[in-house]
């Protein structure tokens, strides 16, 4: 995957409608967006994906759908979600510290690196040293997830060998998502 920044959607946390939040965030530069919001029915996520796709296309971004119930071009799978059949051209998976990384994937998010306000309770934060070990041992690109709340942690993740970072609250809760994306992208450059 060409993007170093993955933004994970969180509809309930957005200070404005998701499409507006994403449009503002994309002004900070392109990124991959994982449309997560699994509380929505599949047909609602399909409609939301259709509204987001033109925004991402125009900005050079990428739309990835989490745990798809139908055909998609790019999928991000939760740790126990089965591989879709047929396999999408791009597939990533959430991997929690200590779990094996599947070499048949295109990338994975690895968490929790730092304590997370967005998704607390996923075990103790592993820190950059353990992230470095996971990245060195991984057969695929690893994206640091969990507590990446700004440029300092994004930079630390890259220094630990991560291909990039995945963020949720840092962009989805931001009142200035353009600035949030720009700062994180600059740190990942």
Give 31-50 pLDDT, tens digit per residue: 999 999 999 999 999 999 99
Q: What is the pLDDT of residues 115-163, one digit of tens each?
A: 877 666 666 899 999 999 999 999 999 999 999 999 999 999 999 999 9
Residue 176 pLDDT more than 70? yes
Residue (of 167, 109, 166, 115) closest to 138 by Cα position: 109
The string over 73-92, giving b where at least 16 C-beta atoms fall within 10 Å of a residue's C-beta and e elsewhere, is ebbbbeeeeeebeeebebbb
Query: What six digits make up the tokens of 32?
Result: 């991959």
Q: Which long-range contacts (CB under 8 A, 24 or more apart) does 167-170 make?
A: 167/5, 167/6, 167/7, 167/8, 168/7, 168/8, 168/9, 168/10, 168/13, 168/36, 168/116, 168/118, 168/119, 169/10, 169/13, 169/116, 169/117, 169/118
Q: What is the distance between the alpha carbons of residues 86 and 39, in angstroms, rounded to a whole number?
A: 24
Q: What percent of the chain has pLDDT over 90?
A: 91
Residue 66 pLDDT more than 70? yes
Q: What is the distance between the alpha carbons of residues 145 and 112, in angstroms, rounded to a whole number?
A: 6
Please report which helix (H) or strand (E) contains residue 88, including its range: none
Instruction: Please report the domains of the chain, with CATH numbers, ordered by start residue.
Output: 5-188 (3.20.20.70)
**Residue 151 CB: number of other CB atoms within 10 A?**
18
Q: How much is the mean pLDDT over the chain?
A: 95
């Amino acid at each position: 995957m060409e993007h170093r920044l993955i933004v994970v959607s969180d509809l309930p946390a957005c200070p404005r409608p998701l499409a507006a939040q994403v449009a503002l965030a994309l002004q900070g530069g392109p990124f991959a967006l994982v449309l997560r919001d699994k509380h929505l029915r599949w047909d609602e996520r399909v409609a939301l994906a259709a509204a987001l796709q033109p925004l991402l296309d125009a900005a050079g971004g990428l739309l990835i759908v989490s745990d798809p119930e139908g055909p998609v071009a790019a999928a991000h799978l939760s740790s126990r979600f089965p591989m879709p059949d047929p396999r999408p051209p791009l597939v990533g998976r959430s991997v929690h510290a200590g779990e094996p990384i599947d070499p048949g994937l295109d990338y994975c998010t690895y968490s929790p690196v730092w304590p997370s306000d967005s998704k607390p309770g996923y075990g103790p934060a592993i820190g950059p040293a353990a992230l470095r070990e996971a990245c060195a041992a991984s057969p695929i690109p690893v994206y640091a997830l969990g507590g990446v709340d700004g440029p300092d942690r994004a930079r630390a993740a890259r220094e630990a060998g991560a291909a990039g970072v995945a963020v949720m609250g840092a962009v989805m809760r931001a009142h200035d998502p353009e600035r949030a994306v720009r700062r994180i992208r600059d740190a990942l450059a």
